[in-house]
Amino acid sequence: MDSIIKPRQRVTRFLGFLALLGALGIVVIHLAWGLPAASRADTSEAAPDSPRREADSPAISTIDSPSPTCYRPEPGTGTCYIQWDYLSVSAAPGANIITMTVSIDNRLRAYHAGFFQSSMFIPAQMMTPGYRVTCGTPGSGGLPDWGNIYPYQIRARDTTGLTAGNFGSVRCPADTVMLYLPVVVRP
């Protein structure tokens, strides 16, 4: 009698396992069909550092960022700052903004996180004095009287998983670093 019970228990456990897998499969299918078609289309992600235009991906909203300026506060230091008057993003109806990031020359410079808000506004005072970069020598960016040219990316993501991006470049004034070494006379 003992040998009959063990196979029955195995069959019962196996059938229970199959029922659990079937229920899990139904839940996964139900969730997949409930997603918007845009998020099911292509889930392959590029590396976070690789630049790509996001014009082909669905836009969540509008990113408003007036043209940035690059300024040199002190001549002869080689240090410039990139600054925007403000950065603003608004989510699509029914969604909230999760993050907005600023990258300059493929380096993450700012990460702003949202909390149940349909829009995000970052004034210039939150970015003061700006994002520090090297000005560059005359002609280093390809223009004879200007310094380096830096590409920037502003990206935002909302609660539905959709993203938006704003891309461009800004040129900095040229600056030559002046180092004055003291003259030391040895006896």
Residue 3 vs residue 37, higher pLDDT: 3
Structure tokens that stand for 66 in this block = 């007036």
pLDDT at 38 over 70: no
Tell me, which fold does domain 56-173 have in CATH? Answer: Immunoglobulin-like (2.60.40)
List, as one string, the DSSP characters of 107-155: EEEEEEE-SS-SEEEEEGGGSTT-EEEE---TTTTSSTTEEEEEEEEEE
pLDDT at 131 over 70: yes
Give the DSSP letter of residue 159.
T
The reported pLDDT for the residue numbered 55 is 41
Alpha-helix runs per DSSP H in 42-117: none
pLDDT at 117 over 80: yes
Question: Nearest-5° angle of CA 137, CA 110, CA 54?
Answer: 90
Q: Quick one: how far is CA 1 from the chain centroid?
A: 66
Whole-number Å distance between alpha carbons of 129 and 59 = 31
Whole-number Å distance between alpha carbons of 13 and 28 = 23
Mean pLDDT of 97-111: 92
Close Cβ partners of 140 (under 8 Å, ≥ 6 residues apart): 147, 148, 174
